[in-house]
Structure formats: structure tokens, C-alpha cells
């Protein structure tokens, strides 16, 4: 493996001058166990743990490495585990709010290029649920791609594709079957060398099957990876980053219930940009679309141009989001400060070693 295969690119180089003077190895976290990590490095996959110093310095859960993070490591002399000394700042991520008074952010996966929003084409097909997943996907900062699996179980693939396209303008839609292999090669372009793809979708839609299919033979090895601590086989963790034999990386992410919205408006407005399109055409700039004269949203709803169910879904998600941001505003200013403090601290910490 070289770093490019693991997703390193020139944007990361810019973050590196601060550390290049010192002798660290670079690695990318591929799995998280309780206090142990697995890390892809140029030498292969290794077990690693954070240094005592790191643990001491870390102020919140989100400062610890997660799957997808780039980390600075050194090898330790007394056993085969590498030591994680620091992480590079995250470029994008999936988060969930961890329970607690401050609604601490818990980052689950870092740095994704594309997010496959996976649904199945049989009875689980649900536009409203897809909208929620799309909001999440946009929030993560990766590019959403809709993957409709189980095409073999569906009689009218075309109309389903049309339906989903109508709620996700501009998002690529692919109908595939992991069972028959139909359409699977449409996904190849997303898996270039060093590209990281996250799979997002409810359980049962076929994410594991797809992963197996992508990994081919390699998946069988995953379960039996020899750990370097000599304890034999690893138990595969729930979430894990896989390196594909043909290049590219895939992460299976937890589903909706576990992820939850994080409260950035961006996800909502990207998902529902058709509704934005109407609302800027309302006569009043502050139109609330509740019966004001000249309301373009109401007109679109009346004419059927805009689907009521979709509009209700939008209102519901917006309400949720407003609730989240109200709570968030309280912490926002503080958080922003802390974030920059953290970035400076990270760079200092890295320089120090």
C-alpha cells in the first residue's frame, strides 16, 4: 500500500509542513476497537493505540481518532503496536450527537469522497426515508450517490428511478442487483485509487452484500486478519474501512437511527433545493408559505408541481433542524473558539514531538 492508495492527496500535503521535520509515520485508521485501533500504513495494517500523552491532552471524545482519520504514528519498541501521536485535522465527517448535557459531537467517520445512499427496490423503498438519508449525506460533506439495490426483485425499475430522481435533483441514481451483478459496474468510477466511499442506508438494503461483492475474495480474509499482537484472529468490528483490491476504500456506516441529523442547514437546502427554488419566487421575501398572497410554494403545491408529501417531509426535517440549531446556538460561539484552539493545539502538539 502506498499513501495515495490510502487516500492521501495534495490537500493533505498542505497540512504536513508542520510535521515533516519530525520522524513520524503516517497511517489511516481502518477500524476502532475499544482501546485499540487498526491503522493502514505503507507497511501494511497494524494495531495501534493512542499515546498516554495524547489521552491526557484530549479534551473531548471528538479528539480521538475515528475510522478514516489520518494519524501520525511511531512504532513502539516493546511490542508490535504502533503509537498514535496525533491526528490531522478532519476535512469532512459523519457525526452523531452523543447523549449528555452539552450534546457533545461524536465523530464516527472522517473524510469521505462519496456517500452511497443505499435503498432496496422492493418493499423497503421509501422516498421520505431517502430524503432523510440525503440530508445526512450532504451534511457529511461527501457527494451523495443513490444506489437502488435488489433490482432483481422489482418489476418497474424505471419508474422507481424516476421517482427517486425527482426528489434528488442532480444526484446520480444507479439501479443495481448485488444478487445478479446487474448494473454493479456503474459504480466502478466511484472507486478510484485513494477514493473513500461510505455506505449509508437502513439495515437489510444490502450494504454488506455489496461490500462483499466489491471485496470479492478479500472479504474472506478480513474476518481472519492475523493481528500483529499474536493473539490470532480479530473479531471484525461493526464498522470498518476496507481497501478494495481494485483500488479505493469503503466504509460501512451506521444507519439513520444511530447517526441523527447534526443541524447544519446545508444538508436540508441541498436535499430540497427545488423547494428553495419556489420560495425565492414568493412575492414576499419573508413568505412563510402559509396563505400569503403571491406564494409560489403554495401555487406549486396546488398545481401538483410540488408534491405535498415531499413538502411535509421538508417541514418536518426543518423543524427538527431548527430545534437542533436552537440548542446548538448556545454552544456555537464556544465551539467555534474551541475548534480553532484545537487546531492550533494540534499543530503545536505535532511540532513538539
* Positions that interact with ligand GDP (CB under 6 A): 149-150, 152-153, 177-179, 201, 203-209
Binding residues with Zn ion: total (CB under 5 A)? 5
Q: Which secondary structure element, helix H or strand E, spans residue 239, and what is its range?
A: none
Angstrom distance (rounded) from CA 347 to CA 327: 30
Minimum CB distance to Zn ion smaller for 114 or for 282: 282
What residue has cell string 467517520? 109
Closest distance of CB 287 from Zn ion, Å:
3
Does 187 participate in binding Zn ion (rule CB under 5 A)?
no
57's contact among ligand GDP, Zn ion, none, with CB below 5 to 8 A by partner kind, is none
Determine, following the binding rule CB under 5 A, whether residue 282 of this chain makes contact with Zn ion.
yes
Full strand arrangement of the beta sheet holding 143-149: 173-175, 143-149, 114-120, 196-200, 249-252, 241-243
Q: Is 258 helix (H, G, I), strand (E, B) or coil?
A: helix
Nearer to Zn ion, 154 or 297 (CB): 297
148 versus 317: smaller Cβ distance to Zn ion: 317
Residue 282 binds what, of Zn ion, ligand GDP, none (CB under 5 to 8 Å, by partner type)?
Answer: Zn ion
Closest distance between ligand GDP and the C-beta of residue 200, in Å? 10
- Least Å from the CB of residue 241 to ligand GDP: 16
- Other Cβ atoms closer than 10 A to 226: 12
What is the grid cell recorded at 135? 440530508
x/- track of binding to Zn ion for residues 286-315 (CB under 5 A): -x-x-----x-x------------------
Strand (E) or helix (H) holding 296: helix 296-303
CA distance 260 to 264: 12
The residues facing 28 across adjacent strands are 40, 70
Residues that bind Zn ion (CB under 5 A): 282, 287, 289, 295, 297
Amino acid at each position: 500500500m502506498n499513501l495515495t492508495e490510502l487516500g492521501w492527496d495534495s490537500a493533505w500535503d498542505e497540512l504536513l509542513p508542520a510535521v515533516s521535520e519530525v520522524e513520524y509515520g503516517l497511517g489511516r485508521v481502518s477500524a476502532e476497537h475499544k482501546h485499540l485501533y487498526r491503522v493502514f500504513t505503507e507497511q501494511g495494517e497494524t494495531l495501534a493505540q493512542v499515546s498516554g500523552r495524547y489521552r491526557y491532552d484530549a479534551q473531548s471524545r471528538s479528539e480521538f481518532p475515528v475510522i478514516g482519520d489520518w494519524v501520525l504514528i511511531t512504532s513502539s519498541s516493546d511490542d508490535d503496536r504502533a503509537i498514535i501521536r496525533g491526528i490531522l485535522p478532519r476535512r469532512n465527517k459523519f457525526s452523531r450527537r452523543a447523549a449528555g448535557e452539552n450534546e457533545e459531537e461524536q465523530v464516527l467517520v472522517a473524510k469521505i469522497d462519496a456517500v452511497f445512499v443505499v435503498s432496496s427496490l422492493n418493499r423497503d423503498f421509501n422516498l421520505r426515508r431517502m430524503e432523510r438519508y440525503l440530508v445526512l449525506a450532504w451534511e457529511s460533506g461527501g457527494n451523495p450517490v443513490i444506489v437502488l439495490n435488489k433490482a432483481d426483485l422489482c418489476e418497474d425499475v424505471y419508474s422507481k428511478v424516476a421517482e427517486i430522481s425527482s426528489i434528488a435533483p442532480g444526484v446520480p441514481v444507479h439501479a443495481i442487483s448485488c444478487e445478479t451483478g446487474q448494473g454493479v459496474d456503474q459504480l466502478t468510477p466511484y472507486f478510484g485509487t485513494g477514493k473513500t466511499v461510505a455506505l449509508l442506508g437502513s439495515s437489510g438494503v444490502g450494504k454488506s452484500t455489496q461490500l462483499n461483492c466489491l471485496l470479492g475474495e478479500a472479504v474472506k480474509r478480513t474476518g481472519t486478519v492475523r493481528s500483529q499482537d499474536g493473539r490470532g484472529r480479530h473479531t471484525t468490528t461493526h464498522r470498518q474501512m476496507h481497501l478494495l483490491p481494485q483500488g479505493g476504500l469503503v466504509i460501512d456506516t451506521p444507519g439513520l437511527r444511530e447517526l441523527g441529523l447534526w443541524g447544519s442547514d446545508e444538508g436540508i437546502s441541498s436535499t430540497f433545493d427545488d423547494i428553495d427554488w419556489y420560495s425565492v419566487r414568493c412575492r414576499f421575501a419573508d413568505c412563510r408559505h402559509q396563505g400569503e398572497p403571491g406564494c409560489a410554494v403554495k401555487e406549486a403545491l396546488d398545481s401538483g408541481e410540488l408534491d405535498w408529501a415531499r413538502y411535509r417531509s421538508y417541514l418536518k426535517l426543518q423543524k427538527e433542524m431548527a430545534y437542533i440549531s436552537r440548542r446548538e446556538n448556545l454552544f456555537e460561539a464556544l465551539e467555534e473558539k474551541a475548534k480553532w484552539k484545537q487546531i492550533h493545539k494540534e499543530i503545536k502538539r505535532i511540532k513538539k514531538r
